Amino acid sequence: MASAKKSLAKASLRNYPLWFTLPLGIIFIVLFVLPTITSFYYAMQRWTLFDTTWIGFDNYALFFKDPFLLGGVIHTFIYAFLTSGLKVVIGMFFGVVLMSNIKLRGLLRNIVFFPVLVSTIGVGLTFQELLKPNVGILDQALQVFGIPAAGLLGDVNTALYAVIAVDVWKGVGLATVIYIAGMAAIPSEYYEAAKMDGVSAIQNFRHIILPLLRPATNTVIVLSLIGGLRSFDLIWSMTGGGPGFASDVLASLIYKKYQAGFYGLSTAGNVIMFGLILILIVPLNRYLSKREVEI
């Protein structure tokens, strides 16, 4: 009996051949895992025209010494945290509005979500023209009201924040639908019980919706942090990292250093980005999921 069971188990294993995982496994390991591992080695080299020299941790050190490179690291933090925070707040607000009883909900959701699907480069170039100093729509509108032109993208103090605003504009639709899915999963008994107890709308939001939405909030935070730390397309198409280095982030510096032939420095940027994501996301994810409540 026991041996029959065993042979059955063996037979069933034979029906799930491991080589099924090979084709994709090889592509993934060769083109993704292997380069990730070798990047630690390349990041410790300096390229000249003809040969390479081993320079240890100098490339990493440069990233934290050179003011422009360090600026890029700091901008990456600002970009990731601001976009993530704004997507949580605005996405939750949109989600609550779209789960209320107002009419036209389906249409509204589609309008908010649509920019998520549009080419980031297309969005970036469009806003580059809309926000163009003096001639763009925003500055023209400001001039009508007698306010001096803002020139958001041309000012070193505002360029990064203008890109962040467009990033939120484009991405908040995804946060919104994640919140809608989260709210749809809350059993209606909770609301009914609260209603019996005569709970006000604010109390309802603060003590029922907010805690039960924690999984959705965690998803939005983690997703937009990872996206923000890696963000490239929008910055590249709106400002190219400029003016000067005012809106450079890690991803744009990696590309610039690659173009300039500083392959080691570029790879060091990659490793730093990898490190940042790991040290931020892994503990954050653990902390956030600990605070989730069971529904």
Where in 39-98 is the site for another protein (CB under 8 A)? Answer: 39, 42, 97
Q: Which of 101, 157, 188, 200 binds another protein (CB under 8 A)?
A: 101
Contact 194, 205 (CB under 8 A): no
Residue type, 9: A
**CA separation, residue 153 to residues 104, 150, 244 (Å):** 35, 9, 11
> Restricting to residues 191-220, which ones interact with another protein according to CB under 8 A?
215-216, 219
Q: Which stretch binds another protein (CB under 8 A): 76-84, 149-157, 197-205, 273-281?
A: 273-281
CB of 56 to another protein, least distance (A): 18
Gap between the Cα atoms of 73 and 78, Å rounded: 9
Which listed range, 77-85, 156-164, 205-213, 231-239, lies at the site for another protein (CB under 8 A)? 231-239
Considering the rule CB under 8 A, would residue 28 count as an interface residue with another protein? yes
Q: Is 292 in the site for another protein (CB under 8 A)?
A: no
**What are 247's two structure tokens?**
């809106």
User: What is the x/- site pattern for another protein, positions 119-148, by CB under 8 A?
Assistant: xxxxx-xxxxxx-x--xxx--x--------
**Is residue 23 close enough to count as binding another protein by CB under 8 A?**
yes
Kindly report the number of other CB atoms within 10 A of residue 205's CB atom: 14
- State how far the Cα of 250 lies from the Cα of 256, in Å rounded to an integer: 10
Residues in the chain: 295
Window contacting another protein (CB under 8 A); options: 68-76, 151-159, 202-210, 270-278: 270-278
> Which one, 157 or 201, has the nearer CB to another protein?
201
180-184: Cβ within 8 A, 24+ apart: 180/95, 180/98, 180/99, 180/109, 181/216, 182/95, 182/212, 182/213, 182/215, 182/216, 182/217, 183/95, 183/96, 183/99, 183/209, 183/213, 183/216, 184/99
Binding part of the chain for another protein, among 155-163, 177-185, 193-201, 202-210 by CB under 8 A, reads: 177-185
Q: How many residues bind another protein (CB under 8 A)?
A: 94
Shortest distance (Å) from residue 121 CB to another protein: 5
Residue tagged 């320079």 (tokens): 55
* 137 or 193: CB nearest another protein: 137
Q: Is the peptide bond before 243 cis (omega within 30 degrees of 0)?
A: yes
Residue 243 in the binding site for another protein (CB under 8 A): no
